[in-house]
Amino acid sequence: MALAREPQRKEYWRWTEYNWRNPDLDWRRAKTITAGVDVGSVSSQAVIMCDGELYAFANMRTGSDSPTSAQRAMDWAMENTGMTLKDVHFTVGTGYGRVNVPFANKAITEIACHARGGNFMYGPTVRTILDMGGQDCKAIHCDEKGKVTSFLMNDKCAAGTGRGMEVFADLLGVSIEDVGELSLQVAEEPEPVSSTCVVFAKTEATGLLRAGWPREKVLAAYCSAMAHRVVSLLERNGVEPDFAITGGIAKNVGVVSRIEKELGIKALKPRYDTQLAGAIGAALFGKALVEKGRR
């Protein structure tokens, strides 16, 4: 007979998926409606913009099938708007799965889209954008128009990525949204974990827990290792202010504040969901292409 056991599984890594619509805009009055769909390795976003203004978006997890994820994100963004794909003048796909967006008119790299989106989200003064995504990390420099002037990408290793943080949330049983705050509740900053590899960092963290470290101290050690790793990536290209962080990790105050401390400069405060940068940039590229076609 199987022993009865309470199910105690909780997915601590799971972040909130949601959609949003701008109640003050009526898409039927818009001249140009464009969409940007960013299919990342971990999350997918669909953004709809009316004449360059944010109208609606959806932010969700990428499934095993990129075309379906793109479609689901887009459907969710359009939910209850009365809008259908036919009403969208131009759709740009971006991100890791950009070639797998079946309804996209064009695919543009996430590097160009993040620069353009960062320019919209943080204003024209932003010069350095650090995108901390699910499975990669990019350092992008751009000009006042949001055009890329240089870029650098790390997608060889999962150190310093969102997925790594998800693994730690699960290990420690701390909700992913609370990791940042909790990691700051230490009296003294511990030594960062020495492994940059997520798998070995997890092994190291298990050892620290066994040695009696409280959860917040282990999280502090991991957040600071992540910050250090990313700063060493940024050093190659230099950091020119204004500086902004996009992607899911930008919501983790534990990592962001440690990056700021190591660099000695503050990151701009986000006014939009930081995960939207790529999709917003893609929609803006779409708008420019539509307007170019009309001229």
Which residues, in sequence order, are bridge partners of residue 164?
A: none
Q: Which of 74, 108, 132, 220 binds another protein (CB under 8 A)?
A: 108
Contact status: 157 vs another protein (CB under 8 A): yes
Q: Which of 11, 53, 65, 155 binds another protein (CB under 8 A)?
A: 155
Q: What percent of the chain is helix, strand and coil (3-state, nearest 5)?
A: 45, 20, 40
Backbone angles phi, psi at 222, to 5 degrees: -75, -45
**H or E, element range at 18:** strand 18-21
Contact status: 105 vs another protein (CB under 8 A): no
Judged by CB under 8 A, the stretch of 73-81, 204-212, 229-237, 243-251 that binds another protein is 229-237
For 274, other C-beta atoms within 10 Å of its C-beta total: 22
Q: Which is nearer to another protein, 185 or 232 (CB)?
A: 232
The vertex-53 CA angle with 48 and 56, nearest 5°, equals 35
What is the SS3 assignment for 55? strand
Q: Give least dist CB 285 to another protein, A.
A: 8
Q: Which is nearer to another protein, 233 or 290 (CB)?
A: 233
Q: Give least dist CB 135 to another protein, A.
A: 13
Q: Which of 237, 240, 241, 290 binds another protein (CB under 8 A)?
A: 237
Q: Which is nearer to another protein, 164 or 180 (CB)?
A: 164
Q: Which is nearer to another protein, 157 or 184 (CB)?
A: 157
Pairing of strands 128-132, 137-142: antiparallel
What is the SS3 assignment for 294? helix
Contact status: 279 vs another protein (CB under 8 A): no
53 to 82, contacts with another protein by CB under 8 A? none
Contact status: 150 vs another protein (CB under 8 A): yes
Tokens standing for 287?
């708008």
Judged by CB under 8 A, the stretch of 23-31, 66-74, 145-153, 180-188 that binds another protein is 145-153
Q: Which of 26, 85, 149, 207 binds another protein (CB under 8 A)?
A: 149
What's the half-sphere exposure (Cβ side, CA atoms, 13 Å) at 190? 21
Q: Which is nearer to another protein, 107 or 184 (CB)?
A: 107
Q: Which is nearer to another protein, 72 or 114 (CB)?
A: 114
Helix and strand element counts for the chain (H, E): 8, 10
Q: Which is nearer to another protein, 172 or 198 (CB)?
A: 198
Contact status: 111 vs another protein (CB under 8 A): yes
Sequence-distant (6+) residues with CB within 8 A of 266 are 243, 260
Contact status: 148 vs another protein (CB under 8 A): yes
* Cα distance between residue 58 and residue 20, in whole Å: 6
Contact status: 265 vs another protein (CB under 8 A): no
First to last CA, the chain: 75
21 in Cβ contact with 55 (< 8 Å): yes
What does the binding site for another protein look like in residue numbers (CB under 8 A)? 108-109, 111-112, 147-157, 232-233, 236-237, 285
